[in-house]
Chain A
Amino acid sequence: MNAFVDPAGMAGHSGLAKGEVLLRVDNVSLSFGGVKAITNISFDILKGEVRAIIGPNGAGKTSMLNVINGFYHPQEGTITWRGQVRRKMKPYEAASQGIARTFQNVALFKGMTTLDNIMTGRGLKMTKNFFWQCLHWGPALNEEIEHRRKVEEIIDFLEIQAIRKTPVGRLPYGLQKRVELARALAMEPELLLLDEPMAGMNLEEKEDMSRFILDVNQQFGTTIALIEHDMGVVMDLSDRVVVLDYGRKIADGPPEEVQSNQDVIDAYLGVPH
């Protein structure tokens, strides 16, 4: 794996050192009509760590990610991102501030090829205006090629060269998930939110994906927040775990601690599957 991004060159990233608080969620509550999805949850994510968010289905994990993304706005509580408090951030603002995301149900752009999908991740960094776009020459062309180069590095990293020009609708599920990860990586995010990246994969695919996630974290220093159901993956990959149940936080700490927490076991933990 070649490093595709020089951490020092990540323009726009905060100057936080590893181990400092990158994102903090304080007393966040979210409800839809009468249904309370999230009740009074607080936790933090440190820069450079892999933070797992686990819990039974319906616990509010995806809603939590949506709040971090700015897709939902919590009725109560605040989110502190890079040391600044924010309540009502729009999704595209979150994206431009360095938060990228994959989705539970693959949300690729089905009408485009793999390459185009990953190129969409570079969109935020492209600036040449409409006039140059029309000519597709000079500055616009150079910009396009420069970003193509970066995208090709990600493609090498995730070993998806062969499917570069395939329309993503035709790809098998496991490869689609990998392309989605590539698209998120193309944004060179500071915080990467992964919503069940291993859902529906067999053992070998899970090992591959775990390897990629670890590489992203260790080589590029990307902070990762991960929703996952597979306990083995969670225990092996994550530095710290937060457990949700029925919209409330019931545990928060290193994996071994959480694993032996009686509340967690009562909530849903049986044996890892």
Chain B
Amino acid sequence: MFYREAGQYKTTYAADQQIFPIRQDRIGIAVILVVALLLPLAASEFTLSAIAIPFLVLALATIGLNILTGYAGQLSLGTGAFMGVGAYSCYKLVTIFPEVNVIVHILLSGVFAAAAGVVFGLPSLRIKGLYLAVTTLAAQFFLEWCFIRIPWLYNYNSSGAIEVPGREVFGTLITGPAASGTARYYVVLAIVVVMTLLIKNVIRGRIGRQWMMIRDMDIAAELMGVRPLIAKLSAFAVSSYVCGVAGAMFVFFYLGASEPAVFSITLSFQVLFMAIIGGLGSLVGSFFGAAFIWILPILLRVGLPALGVDVAAETVFQVAQMIIGALIIFFLIVEPHGLARLWAIGKEKLRVWPFPYA
């Protein structure tokens, strides 16, 4: 009964359409943001570097995939490669223009990923569904090959890897091995929060509706004036941009270095699982999914020994894989729309609690 909407009247359409129309939701999100801001005070460097930062970055990548697969209905298996394009573009930009602020480079690198996304999205006009997924595999493998075979991308480094140089913003070091977890965390948090907000705005507007029209019934969409190629390519472009930025952040703020094996099809699948478990077509679901898939293995690695079960690190990883696979199947049976739908159902039940139904 503390989740009731009683007494909250909307007198303008703008108020009705806002992102969080229920006051309790607004309070909730404010609390979450405050906790996120204060996290570095309580958390260790390890928690920030190994848990919080990659969680945020992967959540952003999941949002990117969600735009393409969840909202526009185009199944994509090339997320890893698009993230890689973002990462390598950022690296080249940073080494070619070292005076420019690194955050600008990160945001710009997404543009190159968007271009790649548009090119590999062109077949989507003729090809649909599973066939389109195979063409995204073409993108994945081809781009992976490029990361290895184009030495210019990694500045002719003999090992084929790239290393992130240290860069400062407002006098604080935020990239490179010497940057503190706190500094990196705040930059990542800021970028992810702002981008999520912008994407939410796009989704609830005309463009987002067009994507959903294409997803639900593309023939009817065309008969209502949507131009399929523009809608699909815009989805590819925006999705790849977001994935590119996420990829750049993945290398610059989390890994600190990268080799081509990082952006493999395994990463594509990992992000896809995050999107599925979190709930396709849901932004909050992207965060749930990323948290779940990223944090579960860590929990196992820490929790199993705590329970007295002694396991090798490898076995933990394998067991985590098994659990994730089984959970995907479980979710698909129980709630195909993922954690986001479970969350929404929970909220609905909360609204009428303690009564069982409205």
Contact = CB atoms under 8 A, between A and B. Distances in A.
B217 A136 contact: no
Contacts, number: 100
Interface string B229-263: 00000100000000000000000000000000000
A148 interface: yes
Interface stretch (A50-58, A138-146, A247-255): A138-146
A94 interface: yes
A214 to B, nearest CB: 24
Nearest to B224: A95
B198 interface: yes
Given A110-B216, A120-B209, A120-B213, A101 B223 contact: yes
Contact of A94 (B217, B219, B223): B223
B159 interface: no
B71 to A, nearest CB: 9
Interface string B198-215: 110110111101101101
B281 interface: yes
B13 interface: yes
Interface in A105-163: 107-112, 116, 119-121, 123-124, 126, 128, 130, 133-136, 140-141, 144-145, 148-149, 152
Interface in B174-204: 198-199, 201-202, 204
A173 interface: no
A133 B217 contact: no
Nearest to B12: A145
Residues of A contacting B: mostly: helix
B202 A134 contact: yes
Contact of A92 (B205, B206, B222): B222
Given A123-B210, A133-B202, A140-B205, A187 B224 contact: yes
Given A130-B202, A134-B201, A135-B201, A112 B222 contact: no
Interface in B285-312: none
Given A120-B213, A123-B206, A133-B207, A91 B223 contact: yes
B8 interface: no
Contact of B212 (A107, A109, A152): A109
Q: How many of chain A's residues touch chain B, expressed as a range?
A: 35 or more
A130 B207 contact: yes
B227 interface: yes
A229 to B, nearest CB: 22
B17 A107 contact: no
- Looking at B12, B202, B210, the one whose CB has the most chain A CB atoms below 10 A away is B202
B223 A123 contact: no
A218 B17 CA distance: 33
A96 interface: yes
A168 to B, nearest CB: 10
Contacts of A145: 12-14, 17
Given A95-B224, A128-B206, A141-B14, A71 B219 contact: yes
A136 B199 CA distance: 10
B216 A112 contact: yes
30 contacts: A69-B223, A71-B223, A92-B223, A92-B226, A92-B227, A95-B224, A96-B225, A107-B217, A108-B216, A108-B217, A109-B213, A109-B216, A111-B212, A111-B281, A112-B216, A116-B212, A123-B206, A123-B209, A123-B213, A123-B224, A130-B207, A133-B202, A133-B205, A134-B201, A135-B198, A136-B205, A140-B205, A144-B17, A144-B206, A149-B13
Interface of A: 69, 71, 90-92, 94-96, 100-101, 103, 107-112, 116, 119-121, 123-124, 126, 128, 130, 133-136, 140-141, 144-145, 148-149, 152, 183, 187
